[in-house]
Amino acid sequence: MSDERVIDIQKIDSSTDQTSIEGKNEHEKALVIVDETKKIIQNAQKQVNECMLLLKDDLENFEKSKQDLRKSALNQSEELLLGVGL
C-alpha cells in the first residue's frame, strides 16, 4: 500500500530586513531579532512535530506489515511441510 504524504514546509519570510531596524538603537534591534528568532523556532517546532507524527504512523504501519509477513511466511511454511508429509 503506497501512502504518499507531504509535509507543508513554509518558507520563512523574515521581515527583519535592513529597513525594519533602521533608526533603532542596539537594544531595539536586538528585540526585533529576538522576536524573529522566536518565530523561526516556533515554525521549526511545528514542522518537527508534524514529522514525528508521520514517523509514528509509518512505524506503526511498518510493524503491522512485518507481523503480517511473518504470519504469511509461517502459514506457507506449515502448508509446505504438511504437503510433504511432515
Contact 34, 14 (CB under 8 A): no
Q: How far apart are CA 83 and CA 86, in angstroms?
A: 8
Q: Is residue 9 part of a domain?
A: no
Contact 12, 40 (CB under 8 A): yes
Looking at residue 86, its pLDDT comes to 77
Band of residue 4 on the pLDDT scale cut at 50, 70, 90: low
Looking at residue 85, its pLDDT comes to 82
Q: Is residue 10 part of a domain?
A: no
Q: Is residue 34 part of a domain?
A: yes
Residue whose C-alpha cell reads 508521520 in the numeric block = 54
Parent domain of 34: 27-85
Looking at residue 40, its pLDDT comes to 97
Q: How far apart are CA 12 and CA 24, in angstroms?
A: 23
Q: Is residue 2 part of a domain?
A: no
Q: Is residue 22 part of a domain?
A: no
Tell me what the pLDDT averaged over the chain comes to. 83
Q: How many domains does the chain have?
A: 1
Q: Is 18 helix (H, G, I), strand (E, B) or coil?
A: helix
Q: What is the pLDDT of residues 39-76, one digit of tens each?
A: 999 999 999 999 999 999 999 999 999 999 999 999 99
